[in-house]
Amino acid sequence: MQAASFDNYAQQYDEHFTFSPVGWLQRKAVYDYLLPLLNKEVSVLEINCGTGYDAFEIVKYVKEVLATDASSKMIEQCEIKNKAAKNISFKVKPIQQLQEEIKNTNFIFSNFGGLNCLSPQDLAAFSKKCNTILNKEADLFFVIMGRKCIWERLYFKIKGDPKKAIRRQSKEGIDTVINGSEFTTWYYSPKEIQDFFTSGYKTQHISGVGLFVPPSYLNPFFANKKILLKLFNGLDKVFCKFKWTANYADHYIIHLTKIN
């Protein structure tokens, strides 16, 4: 069901999110931390790669990228862009079925909420697989939607929808609609992610992405408020250096290294 929903969104995804004002600023904020970690020794496994924007960026800095996604239509968009890029390949494969790919990488990357598409059971199974077959010293770099996004709480309260304002607190999956298709979203705090990856990992970094810069569903409101967005982006550059922002931002970065 999840993959089919994203199939219906694949053609519009870049316009609606990747190249939208909010999506673009949040992605650049991720790169501020991600790109300095990359070098030509790194073989990236990107899970939930979407339309492949990151894969084509990252491959400039690393040895190779294998980018995977559960949605065949998302991978189709990647292949359309993949004219002659070297050391990059794409595969339709859900996170739940990755095995050899995990064995053969030293850097697993998940951007913008792909892991929020996994239930706690599936996330536990994925972390267990990483515990057993992932190479020592491999990095995990995840960008996830947290539970206490301040923007979301304020926005839906002001809109008179107090239930939606606290939807991220739910332990159950939340029904979400994109482009008319329904899928389920689970929200996870940084502490919950650390608890999934307890044995043998060192937490290298945790920080917010989109504390002042709002969630992307506010793109229409900010479309003609570029100066305000620029100001918010400047504030994020100052404040999102701090770990506490991870709890209150739209997304957060968590970077772990396997040490055992």
Residue 253 carries which DSSP code?
E
What's the rounded Cα separation, in Å, for the pair 144 and 251?
5
For 176, the token pair is 């979400």
Of the candidate residues 21, 114, 190, 214, the single one contacting ligand SAM (CB under 6 A): 114
Are 7 and 74 in contact by the 8 Å Cβ rule? The answer is: yes
**Between residues 95 and 254, which has the closer beta carbon with respect to ligand SAM?**
95
Q: Which residues of 6-15 are buried (b: 16+ CB within 10 A; e: fewer)?
A: bbebbeebbe
Q: Does 101 bind ligand SAM (CB under 6 A)?
A: no
Of the candidate residues 48, 105, 216, 233, the single one contacting ligand SAM (CB under 6 A): 48
Q: Does 66 bind ligand SAM (CB under 6 A)?
A: no
What's the rounded Cα separation, in Å, for the pair 17 and 111?
13
Range 14-33, binding ligand SAM (CB under 6 A): 18
CA dist list (Å): 82 to 19, 79, 93, 234: 18, 5, 18, 33
Q: Does 2 bind ligand SAM (CB under 6 A)?
A: yes
Of the candidate residues 25, 45, 69, 247, the single one contacting ligand SAM (CB under 6 A): 69
Least separation in angstroms between CB 98 and ligand SAM? 8
Q: In the complex, which residues of this chain contact ligand SAM (CB under 6 A)?
A: 2-3, 6, 18, 47-50, 54, 69-71, 74, 94-96, 111-114, 117-118
